Copies of this chain bind each other. A is one copy, B any other.
Protein backbone atom coordinates (compact mmCIF):
# COMPACT_ATOMS: atom_id res chain seq x y z
CA UNK A 1 0.00 0.00 0.00
CA UNK A 2 2.95 2.33 0.65
CA UNK A 3 4.03 2.22 -2.97
CA UNK A 4 0.48 2.33 -4.24
CA UNK A 5 -0.02 5.66 -2.51
CA UNK A 6 2.99 7.05 -4.39
CA UNK A 7 1.18 6.59 -7.69
CA UNK A 8 0.47 9.86 -9.44
CA UNK A 9 -0.56 11.16 -12.84
CA UNK A 10 -0.04 14.49 -14.54
CA UNK A 11 -2.79 16.58 -16.14
CA UNK A 12 -1.81 19.25 -18.65
CA UNK A 13 -4.13 21.85 -20.15
CA UNK A 14 -2.59 23.63 -23.12
CA UNK A 15 -4.09 27.07 -23.61
CA UNK A 16 -3.46 29.70 -26.26
CA UNK A 17 -1.51 31.87 -23.81
CA UNK A 18 -0.67 29.72 -20.80
CA UNK A 19 -0.37 26.01 -20.15
CA UNK A 20 -1.53 24.80 -16.76
CA UNK A 21 -0.55 21.48 -15.27
CA UNK A 22 -1.10 19.58 -12.10
CA UNK A 23 0.28 16.50 -10.38
CA UNK A 24 -2.60 14.50 -8.94
CA UNK A 25 -2.78 11.49 -6.64
CA UNK A 26 -5.28 8.62 -6.57
CA UNK A 27 -7.80 10.57 -4.49
CA UNK A 28 -7.93 13.36 -7.06
CA UNK A 29 -5.93 15.67 -4.84
CA UNK A 30 -3.83 18.19 -6.75
CA UNK A 31 -0.42 17.83 -5.08
CA UNK A 32 1.03 20.72 -7.05
CA UNK A 33 -0.12 22.93 -9.90
CA UNK A 34 1.69 25.50 -11.98
CA UNK A 35 1.27 27.57 -15.10
CA UNK A 36 3.86 28.25 -17.79
CA UNK A 37 3.64 30.45 -20.90
CA UNK A 38 2.76 28.32 -23.95
CA UNK A 39 4.63 30.45 -26.53
CA UNK A 40 2.78 28.91 -29.46
CA UNK A 41 4.67 31.16 -31.91
CA UNK A 42 7.96 29.34 -31.12
CA UNK A 43 8.72 25.86 -32.50
CA UNK A 44 6.93 23.00 -30.79
CA UNK A 45 10.27 21.55 -29.60
CA UNK A 46 10.67 24.58 -27.31
CA UNK A 47 7.38 23.87 -25.57
CA UNK A 48 8.06 20.14 -25.41
CA UNK A 49 11.44 20.34 -23.71
CA UNK A 50 10.54 23.27 -21.45
CA UNK A 51 7.34 21.72 -20.11
CA UNK A 52 8.55 18.14 -19.65
CA UNK A 53 11.78 19.04 -17.86
CA UNK A 54 9.94 21.41 -15.50
CA UNK A 55 7.18 18.89 -14.70
CA UNK A 56 9.59 15.98 -14.16
CA UNK A 57 11.63 18.17 -11.84
CA UNK A 58 8.51 19.02 -9.81
CA UNK A 59 7.51 15.35 -9.46
CA UNK A 60 10.99 14.56 -8.23
CA UNK A 61 10.94 17.50 -5.79
CA UNK A 62 7.61 16.38 -4.32
CA UNK A 63 9.05 13.00 -3.41
CA UNK A 64 11.61 11.02 -5.38
CA UNK A 65 9.58 7.87 -4.80
CA UNK A 66 6.54 9.29 -6.67
CA UNK A 67 5.88 7.36 -9.82
CA UNK A 68 4.08 9.06 -12.70
CA UNK A 69 1.92 6.33 -14.25
CA UNK A 70 0.43 8.31 -17.11
CA UNK A 71 -0.04 11.82 -18.45
CA UNK A 72 -3.35 13.20 -19.70
CA UNK A 73 -3.49 16.31 -21.84
CA UNK A 74 -6.25 18.70 -22.89
CA UNK A 75 -5.04 19.94 -26.27
CA UNK A 76 -6.67 22.47 -28.63
CA UNK A 77 -7.79 20.43 -31.66
CA UNK A 78 -6.31 17.37 -30.00
CA UNK A 79 -7.62 14.01 -31.19
CA UNK A 80 -7.90 11.19 -28.67
CA UNK A 81 -8.13 8.58 -31.42
CA UNK A 82 -4.72 9.20 -33.01
CA UNK A 83 -2.82 11.32 -30.46
CA UNK A 84 -2.42 14.19 -32.95
CA UNK A 85 -2.81 17.91 -32.44
CA UNK A 86 -4.38 19.16 -35.67
CA UNK A 87 -2.95 22.56 -36.63
CA UNK A 88 -4.80 24.69 -34.07
CA UNK A 89 -5.32 28.38 -34.87
CA UNK A 90 -2.97 30.79 -33.06
CA UNK A 91 -0.17 28.20 -32.94
CA UNK A 92 2.74 27.80 -35.35
CA UNK A 93 2.97 24.07 -34.57
CA UNK A 94 1.04 22.62 -37.53
CA UNK A 95 0.17 18.89 -37.13
CA UNK A 96 2.05 17.36 -34.21
CA UNK A 97 2.03 13.74 -32.93
CA UNK A 98 1.96 15.33 -29.52
CA UNK A 99 1.07 12.23 -27.46
CA UNK A 100 3.98 10.13 -28.71
CA UNK A 101 6.50 13.00 -28.43
CA UNK A 102 5.54 13.64 -24.79
CA UNK A 103 5.41 9.92 -24.09
CA UNK A 104 9.06 9.54 -25.13
CA UNK A 105 10.23 12.18 -22.68
CA UNK A 106 7.92 11.20 -19.80
CA UNK A 107 8.62 7.50 -20.32
CA UNK A 108 4.99 6.62 -19.62
CA UNK A 109 1.75 6.53 -21.65
CA UNK A 110 0.41 9.94 -22.68
CA UNK A 111 -3.24 10.33 -23.66
CA UNK A 112 -4.74 13.44 -25.19
CA UNK A 113 -8.17 14.85 -25.91
CA UNK A 114 -9.44 18.29 -26.81
CA UNK A 115 -9.77 20.88 -24.06
CA UNK A 116 -13.59 20.77 -23.92
CA UNK A 117 -13.64 16.97 -23.53
CA UNK A 118 -11.04 17.28 -20.78
CA UNK A 119 -13.25 19.80 -18.96
CA UNK A 120 -16.27 17.51 -19.38
CA UNK A 121 -14.33 14.57 -17.95
CA UNK A 122 -13.26 16.65 -14.98
CA UNK A 123 -16.88 17.72 -14.46
CA UNK A 124 -18.10 14.11 -14.69
CA UNK A 125 -15.55 12.81 -12.20
CA UNK A 126 -15.13 15.69 -9.76
CA UNK A 127 -17.67 18.43 -10.58
CA UNK A 128 -21.41 19.12 -10.72
CA UNK A 129 -21.94 16.52 -13.48
CA UNK A 130 -21.16 13.55 -11.23
CA UNK A 131 -24.86 12.70 -11.11
CA UNK A 132 -25.54 13.05 -14.84
CA UNK A 133 -25.24 10.31 -17.47
CA UNK A 134 -26.24 12.66 -20.28
CA UNK A 135 -24.80 16.15 -20.18
CA UNK A 136 -22.97 18.66 -22.32
CA UNK A 137 -20.09 20.74 -20.98
CA UNK A 138 -19.86 24.14 -22.66
CA UNK A 139 -16.48 25.82 -22.30
CA UNK A 140 -16.50 29.57 -22.76
CA UNK A 141 -13.07 30.94 -23.57
CA UNK A 142 -11.71 32.77 -26.60
CA UNK A 143 -14.04 30.44 -28.51
CA UNK A 144 -16.86 28.06 -27.51
CA UNK A 145 -16.10 24.36 -27.04
CA UNK A 146 -18.32 21.48 -26.01
CA UNK A 147 -17.77 18.03 -24.54
CA UNK A 148 -20.64 15.54 -24.81
CA UNK A 149 -21.54 12.77 -22.38
CA UNK A 150 -23.97 10.11 -23.57
CA UNK A 151 -24.85 7.18 -21.31
CA UNK A 152 -21.97 8.05 -18.99
CA UNK A 153 -19.24 8.18 -21.64
CA UNK A 154 -17.64 11.00 -23.56
CA UNK A 155 -18.55 11.07 -27.25
CA UNK A 156 -15.65 11.33 -29.70
CA UNK A 157 -17.50 10.49 -32.89
CA UNK A 158 -16.09 8.75 -35.93
CA UNK A 159 -13.47 11.44 -36.62
CA UNK A 160 -12.62 12.03 -32.96
CA UNK A 161 -13.84 15.63 -33.36
CA UNK A 162 -17.41 15.35 -32.06
CA UNK A 163 -18.60 18.28 -29.95
CA UNK A 164 -17.89 21.23 -32.24
CA UNK A 165 -20.97 23.05 -31.01
CA UNK A 166 -19.14 26.35 -31.45
CA UNK A 167 -19.63 25.86 -35.17
CA UNK A 168 -23.34 25.18 -35.29
CA UNK A 169 -24.78 27.92 -37.48
CA UNK A 170 -27.25 30.00 -35.46
CA UNK A 171 -27.55 33.02 -37.76
CA UNK A 172 -27.69 32.56 -41.50
CA UNK A 173 -25.36 35.02 -43.17
CA UNK A 174 -24.19 36.11 -39.72
CA UNK A 175 -20.75 37.07 -38.41
CA UNK A 176 -17.81 35.64 -40.35
CA UNK A 177 -15.96 32.94 -38.38
CA UNK A 178 -12.28 32.05 -38.72
CA UNK A 179 -13.35 28.50 -39.60
CA UNK A 180 -14.66 29.77 -42.93
CA UNK A 181 -18.38 29.53 -42.09
CA UNK A 182 -20.55 32.44 -41.06
CA UNK A 183 -23.05 32.74 -38.22
CA UNK A 184 -21.28 30.14 -36.01
CA UNK A 185 -22.44 29.99 -32.39
CA UNK A 186 -18.99 30.95 -31.10
CA UNK A 187 -19.10 34.22 -33.04
CA UNK A 188 -21.82 35.25 -30.56
CA UNK A 189 -21.14 33.22 -27.42
CA UNK A 190 -17.47 33.36 -26.43
CA UNK A 191 -15.05 36.03 -25.37
CA UNK A 192 -14.60 37.31 -28.90
CA UNK A 193 -18.33 37.05 -29.68
CA UNK A 194 -19.50 38.89 -26.58
CA UNK A 195 -16.88 41.61 -27.06
CA UNK A 196 -18.22 42.16 -30.59
CA UNK A 197 -21.78 42.35 -29.23
CA UNK A 198 -20.96 44.77 -26.41
CA UNK A 199 -19.19 47.00 -28.93
CA UNK A 200 -22.42 47.19 -30.95
CA UNK A 201 -24.50 47.77 -27.81
CA UNK A 202 -22.22 50.57 -26.64
CA UNK A 203 -22.75 52.43 -29.91
CA UNK A 204 -26.52 52.20 -29.39
CA UNK A 205 -26.18 53.30 -25.75
CA UNK A 206 -23.65 56.14 -25.53
CA UNK A 207 -24.81 56.85 -21.97
CA UNK A 208 -23.52 53.45 -20.75
CA UNK A 209 -20.96 53.58 -17.95
CA UNK A 210 -18.96 50.98 -19.91
CA UNK A 211 -18.09 53.66 -22.45
CA UNK A 212 -15.81 55.08 -19.76
CA UNK A 213 -13.54 52.02 -19.92
CA UNK A 214 -10.84 51.68 -22.59
CA UNK A 215 -12.19 48.93 -24.86
CA UNK A 216 -9.09 46.74 -24.62
CA UNK A 217 -9.43 46.70 -20.82
CA UNK A 218 -13.14 45.88 -20.82
CA UNK A 219 -13.87 42.42 -19.40
CA UNK A 220 -16.69 40.20 -18.19
CA UNK A 221 -16.54 41.54 -14.65
CA UNK A 222 -17.18 45.08 -15.93
CA UNK A 223 -20.19 43.88 -17.94
CA UNK A 224 -21.52 41.89 -14.95
CA UNK A 225 -21.28 44.95 -12.69
CA UNK A 226 -22.94 47.19 -15.27
CA UNK A 227 -25.69 44.57 -15.72
CA UNK A 228 -26.31 44.61 -11.96
CA UNK A 229 -26.75 48.39 -12.22
CA UNK A 230 -29.30 47.93 -15.04
CA UNK A 231 -26.92 49.41 -17.59
CA UNK A 232 -28.82 49.14 -20.88
CA UNK A 233 -25.81 48.17 -22.99
CA UNK A 234 -24.90 45.33 -20.62
CA UNK A 235 -28.50 44.10 -20.32
CA UNK A 236 -28.95 44.15 -24.09
CA UNK A 237 -25.61 42.39 -24.60
CA UNK A 238 -26.47 39.45 -22.34
CA UNK A 239 -30.03 39.35 -23.68
CA UNK A 240 -28.74 38.96 -27.24
CA UNK A 241 -26.00 36.51 -26.23
CA UNK A 242 -28.55 34.40 -24.35
CA UNK A 243 -30.90 34.45 -27.34
CA UNK A 244 -28.15 33.04 -29.58
CA UNK A 245 -26.90 30.53 -27.00
CA UNK A 246 -30.46 29.31 -26.39
CA UNK A 247 -30.88 28.60 -30.10
CA UNK A 248 -27.71 26.53 -30.15
CA UNK A 249 -28.63 24.61 -27.00
CA UNK A 250 -32.11 23.86 -28.36
CA UNK A 251 -30.56 22.28 -31.44
CA UNK A 252 -28.36 20.05 -29.29
CA UNK A 253 -31.35 19.09 -27.11
CA UNK A 254 -33.44 18.08 -30.14
CA UNK A 255 -30.63 15.78 -31.20
CA UNK A 256 -29.22 14.42 -27.92
CA UNK A 257 -31.72 15.22 -25.16
CA UNK A 258 -29.15 15.83 -22.39
CA UNK A 259 -30.21 16.32 -18.79
CA UNK A 260 -27.96 19.34 -18.29
CA UNK A 261 -25.63 21.86 -19.84
CA UNK A 262 -22.71 22.81 -17.61
CA UNK A 263 -20.92 26.08 -18.33
CA UNK A 264 -17.23 26.33 -17.56
CA UNK A 265 -14.70 29.17 -17.82
CA UNK A 266 -14.72 32.80 -18.96
CA UNK A 267 -18.21 34.23 -19.33
CA UNK A 268 -19.81 31.38 -17.37
CA UNK A 269 -19.09 33.63 -14.37
CA UNK A 270 -21.95 35.84 -15.57
CA UNK A 271 -24.20 33.06 -14.21
CA UNK A 272 -27.92 33.87 -14.15
CA UNK A 273 -27.32 37.23 -15.84
CA UNK A 274 -26.66 35.25 -18.99
CA UNK A 275 -28.44 31.96 -18.26
CA UNK A 276 -31.90 33.44 -17.60
CA UNK A 277 -32.24 34.76 -21.16
CA UNK A 278 -30.51 31.63 -22.47
CA UNK A 279 -33.11 29.41 -20.84
CA UNK A 280 -35.99 31.49 -22.25
CA UNK A 281 -34.55 31.30 -25.72
CA UNK A 282 -33.81 27.57 -25.44
CA UNK A 283 -37.39 26.79 -24.42
CA UNK A 284 -38.75 29.04 -27.18
CA UNK A 285 -36.85 26.91 -29.72
CA UNK A 286 -37.81 23.50 -28.27
CA UNK A 287 -40.69 21.11 -28.91
CA UNK A 288 -43.01 20.64 -25.92
CA UNK A 289 -41.66 17.16 -25.21
CA UNK A 290 -38.27 18.62 -24.22
CA UNK A 291 -39.46 21.65 -22.26
CA UNK A 292 -38.50 21.41 -18.60
CA UNK A 293 -36.21 18.40 -19.16
CA UNK A 294 -32.92 20.35 -19.24
CA UNK A 295 -30.99 22.10 -16.46
CA UNK A 296 -28.46 24.89 -17.07
CA UNK A 297 -25.70 25.10 -14.48
CA UNK A 298 -22.41 26.83 -13.91
CA UNK A 299 -19.48 24.51 -13.18
CA UNK A 300 -18.19 24.41 -9.62
CA UNK A 301 -14.64 23.66 -10.73
CA UNK A 302 -12.11 26.42 -10.21
CA UNK A 303 -11.12 27.89 -13.54
CA UNK A 304 -7.96 26.17 -14.74
CA UNK A 305 -8.37 23.09 -12.57
CA UNK A 306 -11.32 21.64 -14.50
CA UNK A 307 -9.37 20.70 -17.58
CA UNK A 308 -6.38 19.55 -15.50
CA UNK A 309 -8.58 17.22 -13.44
CA UNK A 310 -10.33 15.99 -16.57
CA UNK A 311 -7.02 15.21 -18.21
CA UNK A 312 -5.95 13.29 -15.11
CA UNK A 313 -9.25 11.35 -15.13
CA UNK A 314 -8.29 10.18 -18.60
CA UNK A 315 -4.73 9.48 -17.44
CA UNK A 316 -6.03 7.22 -14.64
CA UNK A 317 -8.17 5.36 -17.17
CA UNK A 318 -5.01 4.66 -19.14
CA UNK A 319 -2.87 3.90 -16.07
CA UNK A 320 -5.44 1.41 -14.85
CA UNK A 321 -5.97 -0.18 -18.28
CA UNK A 322 -9.59 0.89 -18.67
CA UNK A 323 -8.60 2.53 -21.97
CA UNK A 324 -6.25 1.12 -24.59
CA UNK A 325 -4.41 3.60 -26.79
CA UNK A 326 -3.55 3.10 -30.46
CA UNK A 327 -0.55 5.40 -30.30
Residues of A within 8 A of B (CB): 77, 86, 132-134, 146, 148, 150-151, 153, 155-165, 167-169, 171-172, 179-181, 247, 250-252, 254-259, 285-290, 293-294
Determine which of B287, B293, B294 lies in contact with A180 in the assembled complex, contact meaning CB atoms within 8 Å: B287
CB distance from A86 to the nearest CB of B (A): 7
Q: How many copies does the complex hold?
A: 2
Contact A167 B287, CB 8 Å, known A159-B293, A172-B172: yes
Q: Is the CB of A288 within 8 A of B180?
A: yes
A285 to B86, CA, bound (A): 20
Contact A287 B150, CB 8 Å, known A255-B256, A293-B158: no
Q: Which residue of chain B has its CB nearest to the CB of A166? A: B254
CB distance from A326 to the nearest CB of B (A): 15
Contact A257 B159, CB 8 Å, known A167-B287, A251-B169, A287-B179: yes
| Across-interface contacts of A161 in B (CB, < 8 A) | 257, 289-290
Determine which of B169, B252, B259, B286 lies in contact with A255 in the assembled complex, contact meaning CB atoms within 8 Å: B252
Q: Is the CB of A162 within 8 A of B257?
A: yes
A255 to B249, CA, bound (A): 11
Determine which of B133, B158, B180 lies in contact with A133 in the assembled complex, contact meaning CB atoms within 8 Å: B158
CB distance from A216 to the nearest CB of B (A): 29
Q: Is the CB of B258 within 8 A of A158?
A: yes
- Interface centre among A163, A259, A289, by most chain B C-beta atoms within 10 angstroms, is A289
A171 to B258, CA, bound (A): 24
Q: Is the CB of B255 within 8 A of A163?
A: yes
* A158-B257, A161-B290 known, 9 other contacts, Cβ within 8 Å: A77-B289, A146-B255, A157-B258, A158-B293, A159-B257, A164-B257, A168-B251, A179-B287, A251-B251
A34 to B67, CA, bound (A): 66
